Structure 1
């Protein structure tokens, strides 16, 4: 059974942009794509106001699927599921065995207004990784940044980052969120160990020095801008347990960063995304 990338849509420009990026990934990874629309009260209100029935939603999904397959060798499924996006997306994941959820945010023009607060609630409920896009376009992900606290159970995060690099064929930029001011010797030892692990895994990497001062999100974003990062990877701390992404205190600002860099949110114990090829 081919793997599936899931794309929720409210037919806004932002969701269309996310779908376009998901189609590129589907072609690169050899997966199918599934467009899902949650038929909720916003949808029904829009249908009523325009004297349409549910067939209009199906037609809009069909048109979007046709747009995404144009010039590409990918299969695009469509789903319309009754309920809120918080209920419909997990149901769609179960129905399709999806490995990745790709979402657009700040879609003001769509009739469901899939904005930041809703996106964050969806991300934290997902049992699979979520890749968040805004308006900005990216054709490839050759540079990926991972903020990493080397004093806080980092090994599984690093192993997951290695798998991401192999999947996207990218260079990994690691920026430390705790630059080792208090324990400089232990910090140096861990940085050396991380470098050794990445070298043995044959991963191209760059260690970006951390900063002891400043707002965490602004520091990370400035480093991402300087390095021309194409995707930021945020991972829950392992001790949080479970199989869902749990954002840290600064993660929300990074997810909706003003530079519109795409952000991949996951728990290091999520393995769905790396099962591509089956």
Structure 2
């Protein structure tokens, strides 16, 4: 983990994400790419011209750089290489392009835990960023003075297609030397036998040499509640899950379950593309 991208709208939530990124950067010798998105069409702005159809764009560009300067003076960034970048794009496209351009290993986003990323990443934008990203997305809800990851819940239906995401989750866990708790949630509408559930979990687990894990079947009224309640019961530090990229969430996390967890779970959530 050498390059971390942090999208920012300069809100408190975005700074919470940056503080987590700073801790990881110091611990692993990583660089931080701080990205601010201006949702103004780039072709509307001609910096070589004395006039502009959108003069407010120039104002917001200068404002962004002033805010960058204030952030750079934060003591928690001392000793870290931080790159500032401003992009004109839709938010999820800007994050996607920045990841490709800079070969990003991890994206860390801040969330207020209710309606997505305040001001910058709200509503469907959060789900779009999570769904379209090729790299892992870590969403944090609050300030972490000491970001430690000892226990990770990897929630899935453990179908074969989740194997690649599982391997990525294991690689993330190994960075922190964390224990992984495999979790399959049974609900009245999505029920499988314990025997089948255990076979699925063991099949994925056997795809790596990682041995620091537990297998768990949890019954609840919904998948989302089951994940959150189980995570609470073991005091998990992070909830991990897989996504299908542009195809949406895997058929375990169908509909809006990914966005619901990103918005509603108290704990940090990390997603890995299948």
Residue 54 of structure 1 corresponds to: 61
Stretch deviating more after TM superposition (130-139 or 119-128): 130-139
Q: Per the alignment, do residues 192 and 140 of structure 1 end up closer, same or farther by CA in structure 2, a change over 3 Å counting? A: same
Match of 1:205 in 2: 213
CA contact (8 A) 1:9 1:37 kept: yes
Cα deviation for residue 131 of structure 1 reads 0.9
> Residue 210 of structure 1 aligns to a residue in which SS?
strand
Which of 103, 119, 134 is the matching residue for 2:109? 103
Can you list the C-alpha shifts for 1:9-56, whole angstroms capped at 9, x where unaligned? 111000011111111111222210011111235xx9xx95xx956323
Shift of 1:151: 4.6
Provide TM-score, normalisation by structure 2. Answer: 0.78
- CA 81–155 in structure 1, closer or farther in 2 if over 3 Å, else same: closer
Aligned mate of 1:155, from 154, 163, 177: 163
- The gaps in structure 2 that reach 5 residues or longer are 46-54
1:74 is displaced (CA, Å) by 1.6
TM-superposed CA distance for 1:149, in Å, is 1.7
1:147–1:111 Cα change, 3 Å: closer
Q: Secondary structure at the match of 1:81?
A: strand
Contact 1:147–1:175 (Cα < 8 Å) also in 2: yes
Distance 1:193 1:86 in 2: 34
Q: Does 1:145 align with 2:144?
A: no
Alignment match, 1:271: none
The structure 2 residue matched to 1:218, chosen from 225, 245, 248, is 225
Q: CA RMSD in A?
A: 3.3
In structure 2, what is the Cα distance between the partners aligned to 1:185 and 1:95? Answer: 45
**For residues 190 and 57 of structure 1, do their structure 2 counterparts lie closer, same or farther at Cα, with a shift above 3 Å needed?**
closer
Gap regions ≥5 residues in structure 1: 269-278
Q: Distance in 1 between matches of 2:60 and 2:200?
A: 60
User: Is 1:6 equivalent to 2:12 in the alignment?
Assistant: no
Aligned length: 252
Report the Cα distance in structure 1 between the residues aligned to 2:209 and 2:161, rounded to whole angstroms: 19
Distance in 1 separating the partners of 2:201 and 2:90: 44
**Partner in structure 2 of residue 28 of structure 1:** 27
Q: Please give the alpha-carbon distance, in whole angstroms, between the structure 2 residues aligned to 1:148 and 1:13.
A: 31
How many angstroms does 1:62 deviate by? 2.2
Q: 1:154 to 1:118 in 2, by over 3 A?
A: closer
- 76, 89, 103: which is aligned to 2:95? 89
Q: Which residue of 1 aligns with 2:135?
A: 128
1:255 CA drift (Å): 1.3
Q: Deviations over 1:227-260 (max 9, x none)?
A: 1111111103xxx5xx66833232221111242x
Structure 1's 184 and 122: CA in aligned 2 closer, same or farther, altered over 3 A?
A: closer
SS at match of 2:149: coil
Structure 1 residue 233 corresponds to structure 2 residue 273: no
1:107-161 CA-partner distances (Å, limit 9, x unpaired): 99x9944224221122222222211112253621111100122355443343333
Q: Comparing 171-180 with 75-84, which one deviates more in the overlay?
A: 171-180
Partner-residue secondary structure (3-state), 1:229: coil
Aligned to 1:39: 38
